[in-house]
Structure 1
Amino acid sequence: MKRLLLVLVATAASVSAQTAARRATNLAALLAYPAFYHGRPIVLIGNVTTDQNGRARVSDDNGSVRLVLKNSAPDGLDEIRGEFWDISRMKPDDPRFSTYDLRKTFELDPDGPWPRSGEVTAIVVTAVRPATPPPAPSIRAIVLNPTRYIDQKVTISGQYSGRNLLGDLPEAPAKSRYDFVLRSADAAIWVINMRPKGKDFDLALDARIDTNRWLTLRGTVQHGRGLQWLDAEAGTLALAKPPAETPAEEPVRVPAGPPPEVVFSTPTEDETDVSTTTSVRVQFSRDIDPATLKGHVKASYVQAQSKERGEPDTPPINFTTQYSAATRVLEIRFAAPLERFRTIKLELLEGIAGADGQTLKPWTLTFVVGS
């Protein structure tokens, strides 16, 4: 079984923690999406206990996490601030490790196999203080205290962010065709089963033109896969006014997420004996801006094989593309059966970007068509 280790290490704030905006989250989200939160300043709430040997842990309904502190932390419900690390995305000689003993602090053998994504994670702690109960339901309160609100009806207000256009959250719940995000201060939450449309407004899901609008609505809090969402109640959606002022420590700006990556494809790289009637499916790690796909997908036969066959020109491959935001899958459908015993090269060219503008590194897939 994969061993997940979260280590919270007390230290001075890093440069990135000083310059990037903090994000409210919870242990379930960190465990489910370590790559998304890597390198981000975060704040979370959990129950802190210290055993007779002075070892502290923080826990919630998802499990417990080790705390390694320079100073003692108060027992009870605490708010913990720091920077999240997914160790797999770092190297053994990373300068951020210079003040730590990898074996003692992270239970990691620097001479052994390096951990895979999510196997060893850490929060470099900058502050711990007793948490105070939220005075009323809000987006931030729900994100920081998810189990407190699960299956409860609440009313919230937040800044509209379309279909995660600002990259606030790692993934969509894919519960309805109109899923959208509301954000407030350093927190964000999905809203499902509610089209962002009402009297005198009809907000765009896939364009940033309406991301300065604020909405209020009522719904039931639900969760799954490290995400929280509000199952909206019909007839409760309305425009709202933004707060008169936002506390300086809770900035609305959220740092960009990691660049999107290709996490799966079918056919797979160098696969052989692929059907002549195949289509290609490519799944991304994060939401993609569909508009950036146009003109940046290329499919072709390998030119070297045309020379071997004595063809004056390599025949073109005509295709169409379809992107599903719910599953983050791009499907390439070929207009005619592919020629037998030929190598196909599919390219995702420079210029494809995530919903928050982070660009995809150019990617290539090759496979061989069979009989």
Structure 2
Amino acid sequence: MTTPTRRFPLDAWALAVLAAVLCAIPFFASGYVLYVVNLLMVFVILALGMHVVIGEAGQFALSHTAFYGIGIYVAGLINTHWHPPFVLSILAGGLVSAALGYVIGLLALRMRDIYLALATFAFGEAMQWVFLNWESVTGGSNGMRMQPAQMLGLTLTNDLQAYPFVVGIAALMLGVTVWLSRSQFGSALRAVRESDVAAMAMGIDARAMKQSAFAVSAAFAGIAGGTYTLFISFIHPESLGFQTTILILTMVVVGGIGSVRGAVAGALAFGIISEMLRQALSIQEILYGAILLGFMMFRPRGLFADAKKRIARSHGQAAAGAAALKGGAA
């Protein structure tokens, strides 16, 4: 009787290859490439945060960019005025965003589906208005200069110096997302996503879960904003508009709603596409809209959510084959 070989998980291979590439990049890449990779890591954190609220909790929220901007301005202002270690300024941005996200989560208790999307969209637009008009704090339409971040006496003055910290934060947030997804908290979120009534029948506080999902998602966005301040020197409110929300939503939808690997792959793919189309903003909007519509119509679960089902099905078939072989040998 032959014993079936145990295969190394595909996700582990993908992570190993990605880690090897990220470790090799600083040795041969130019400053611009390092900037793009840093930006991709920020997109990964943003996509993971949207995955929590949409993919895990099933709450269709469009306020992610607002929390991202809050994280940028909070971390930037703290760093400019008090120069603490950047870990503290990033944590402050995440905590402020989480607190506001918990409050915005109250909307999820009263609204659903398109109404919740419109309400959170309105909050995002209101926050961009604040970024544009609160000139004494954000610099308004003139934008705001960022001071270099500091840590243990080291001042981060270029993309290469910021690179290991940005990659490390993205890896940490990926680990947190996987842990949350596999925890009882993640199971409770998915139960609420499927049915509020069924979740409450199992003893799950659906109201608390929805608010917690908003808070966690907003914290991810705030941390992404704080991480962004490690390698940029200037921020303008126009970069925090609805187009950024659509970009992040496209990453999650195309990658696969409810799939961590889909959020990461979508962030990497569309982050590169957005950078390639930086000089053609009108084409960006048309492209994102067409891709989003196409996937929502013909492949609503995205690419990697379906791949996950195929892998699980193949594993089930392999297990059934092994059981049949064992029964035949017996």
- TM interval, short-chain normalised: under 0.3
Q: Which has the higher contact order (CA 8 A, sep 6+)?
A: 2
When you count helix as a share of all residues, which structure comes out higher? 2
When you count strand as a share of all residues, which structure comes out higher? 1
TM-score by length of 1: 0.19
